[in-house]
Amino acid sequence: MLVPALIILALFFGLPIVDLIRTSFTRWPGIGEPTFIGTDNYITAFTSPEVREALLRSVLLGVGAALILSTIATVLAALISGGLRGKSIYRVIWFLPAIAPPSAVAVFWALSVQPRSGAVNAFLGALGLGDTHAWLADPSTALYVIIAVAVWAGVGFAFLVILGAMEEVPVSVYEAASIDGASRIRQFFFITLPLVRPVLSMIVLLEVIWAFNGFTLVWGMTQGGPGNATSILPVQVYKDAFLFSNFGLAAAVSVVGGILLLVVGLVGQWLGSRKGADE
């Protein structure tokens, strides 16, 4: 049984990765024979201001969205696990954005933040906070709008997972804490959070990876614009490959991004296993 599994892994995962790495050492416009150029694409990737800025935006989007939505999801899960009535209804409502296709989410929010016809500006106008700001056309706000949408789209999944972890905490632990005089807030910080910490770590790690690779959301809302204000690493790869016909550089940037995510994943797993060992 092991040999067929290894063959399938080699065909569907190993060969594409090997081909990607091979392409990263070539100059290839997408047609004809690739020309071997050594490490030139990697030198370009590490020295290009566009790639460096795209990497920083990816980190900002991934880390920012993961931390914000994890915090919101934890608070929501704590409120609902604390006995809020209508628990099943809240589960469905919060999970709805998680099942929407990313392309549909991108179109919905791109229309919602339009300067004059969007619902967001109409709402802000009703509150007297201005009603004509072009959120996605302004380089100073476009990336933050995408982070907010990534939070909106991802908070439901994180909420359900964290809520499930909180409901696994034995009721007897809270009863003992109540007898000792611990308030609900102290129980949350000294019982709930430490016990669900492994799940929280996993959620943050997954959301960082998902947001870091959020090509569909970014491309659907801004196509990396205005200028390069929202051009994250996957968008830069797409531009290098399909707009500038430089598949070698796109492959090199992909390899660098993949190694970065692999390191993030390994560090996250190491931290998780270390916490488990400490406990």
Over 70: is that where the pLDDT of 155 sits? yes
Average of pLDDT values for 148-172? 90
What domains are there in the chain, each with its CATH number? 54-274 (1.10.3720.10)
Find all residues with CB under 8 Å of 56, minimum gap 6, and list them: none
Res 183: pLDDT: 87
Residue with tokens 């993949």: 258
Which residue in this structure is represented by tokens 């072009």? 134
> For the segment 240-255, what is each residue's pLDDT rounded down to a tens digit?
999 999 999 999 999 9
71-94 pLDDT, tens digit each: 999 998 988 887 667 777 877 887
State the SS3 of the chain. Answer: CHHHHHHHHHHHHHHHHHHHHHHHCEECCCCCCCEECCCHHHHHHHHCHHHHHHHHHHHHHHHHHHHHHHHHHHHHHHHHHCCCCCHHHHHHHHHHHHHCCHHHHHHHHHHHCCCCCCHHHHHHHHCCCCCCCCCCCCCCCHHHHHHHHHHHHHHHHHHHHHHHHHHCCCHHHHHHHHHCCCCHHHHHHHHHHHHHHHHHHHHHHHHHHHHHCCHHHHHHHCCCCCCCCCCCHHHHHHHHHHHCCCHHHHHHHHHHHHHHHHHHHHHHHHHHHHHHHHC
Radius of gyration of the CA atoms of the chain, in A: 23
Stretch 199-210: mean pLDDT: 86
**pLDDT by residue (tens digit) across 21-61?**
999 999 999 888 889 999 999 999 999 999 999 999 999 99
- pTM of structure: 0.87
User: Residue 277 pLDDT > 60, yes or no?
Assistant: no
